[in-house]
Amino acid sequence: MNIKDKLQIILITFNRKDLLEKTFQQIFADNSPIKDFDITILNNNSTDGTDELVNEYCSKFPNLKHIKHKINIGGNANIAKAYTEYSNKDYIWLLCDNDTYNWDSWHEIESAIENNFDCILTKNCKNTDSEIFHQANFAPACIYKTKNITSTVVENMYDNVRNLFPHLALTAKNINDGNRFYIVKKDIVNIGVNPELKTMYVRDLIADEVPLSRRMIFWSVGFFNSVELIKDRKKQIEIINGLKHFHKSLFDLFKTIIIYNQELKEDYFYNLQQIFRVLSFKQKLKFILAYILVKTSRKNYKYWFIRYKKEWEDYFQAVNEQKYLDDLSEKLKNKKVLLYGAGLISNVLLENYDLSKLNIVGICDKKFEKENREEFFYNLKTYSPNELKNLDFDVILFTLKEFEKIKQILKKDGINKKMLSAVKLSNKYVLRV
């Protein structure tokens, strides 16, 4: 049997026409192995022109089906609906409207389906319950065998809509039953941008009509509550112990959770209670220590979670970024400076600050590796990282918040130039790096 006869693909969307179009371009590209698969769009009653876009693609690709809900049932309910009402084949893969794809490892997916694996991870990770459960919070990270969607799983999915991750009920089922997992060697799908990061869990809702506990929830609260779907208490503890979520340790994660709740969720203590209750005794001690550390700190965490342009503008104004740049200019007098990083920070700096005293020879970024790249970025000559060895410069000035890994890579590649940050770090404010 052909793989496309075994795999049902569902793509959920709501009011992200531009992002959805980029997703379609990847899914229906000539090199896409799923361009001929049956794909169903579950449209959460979009009002931004998504209908017209989807219908346009439906006219070109008869394997694409468009279902539009009468009302917006919420992103997480849409996930539950996809798994419980539209899983018509042996396997189901749920996609989002804002991610990116690399099809190099697709042959592994086909092999895993042929070999009857229960859950196939489209993202590489260690083969441990903790790593798998963590990766699975990102819905497109798993392709599931539909026979494991039992009545209990369905009930647990809808119950877990409130905790943001209904699909983890199916992941937990596979872990609880000791089912077979396959993990690809190279990521096929990666998390895309979330432009509504602060409001993504209550999009299109009247905020003051949403219960406070629902309005204040965030990733960590939902994930820790979802750990209860795992039956074995020892496994619950192992999953939590192995959870770092881009942090160096569980303690650092606890610290970030507490700061996030303090700065972005009005210090809503119920969130911390929800997390605390599922921890083991040793984990609770770490959590308490992290809480004391944050609450007794003299540091200001106002800018801990900078993500948007306006927030960077406010931060740079608060730390007197212009004076910092002027001082750098004096230190780097007669030095040829290369900016590294052409993202949000560089946009803010180049639009709002005077860098003319720096002898800038150009700007480097991975996005300039493309053949049809921009030749200039804010009137600065663009370079890709693999061009640095042949470039005449003295200093790299990073327009990035986090660049330690890049420094290490550059040094391994033989780039032994002086490397500094264009972002002023203040003793008063703490930036998350």
Nearest C-alpha neighbor of 353 from the set 384, 327, 382, 391: 327
pLDDT of the residue at 327: 96
What tokens does 147 get? Answer: 């026979």
Residues with Cβ < 8 Å from 401, sequence gap 6 or more? 306, 345, 423, 431, 432, 433
DSSP characters for 212-261?
Answer: HHHHS--HHHHHHHHGGGSS-HHHHHHHHHT--SSSSSHHHHHHHHHHHH
pLDDT of the residue at 206: 80
Q: What is the pLDDT of residues 81-139, one digit of tens each?
A: 999 999 899 999 999 999 999 999 999 999 999 999 999 999 999 999 999 999 999 99
- The answer to whether residues 361 and 340 touch, using CB atoms and an 8 Å cutoff, is no
Query: Rounded distance, CA 67 to CA 408, Å?
Result: 48
Query: Rounded distance, CA 120 to CA 118, Å?
Result: 7
Helix-strand-coil split of the chain, %, nearest 5: 45, 15, 40
Instruction: Write the single-letter amino acid at 353.
Output: Y
DSSP characters for 291-317?
Answer: HHHHHT--SB-TTTT--SHHHHHHHHH
Three-state DSSP class for residue 95: strand
Instruction: Give the chain's residues under pLDDT 70.
Output: 1, 193, 195-200, 433
Query: Rounded distance, CA 273 to CA 270, Å?
Result: 5
Please state, as a whole number, how many other Cβ atoms lie within 10 Å of the Cβ of residue 411: 12
Residues with Cβ < 8 Å from 217, sequence gap 6 or more? 162, 163, 164, 201, 271
Q: What is the pLDDT of residues 354-374, one digit of tens each?
A: 999 999 999 999 999 887 888
Q: Structural domains in the chain?
A: 3-190 (3.90.550.10), 205-295 (no CATH), 309-421 (3.40.50.720)
pLDDT of the residue at 199: 62
Residues with Cβ < 8 Å from 138, sequence gap 6 or more? 123, 191
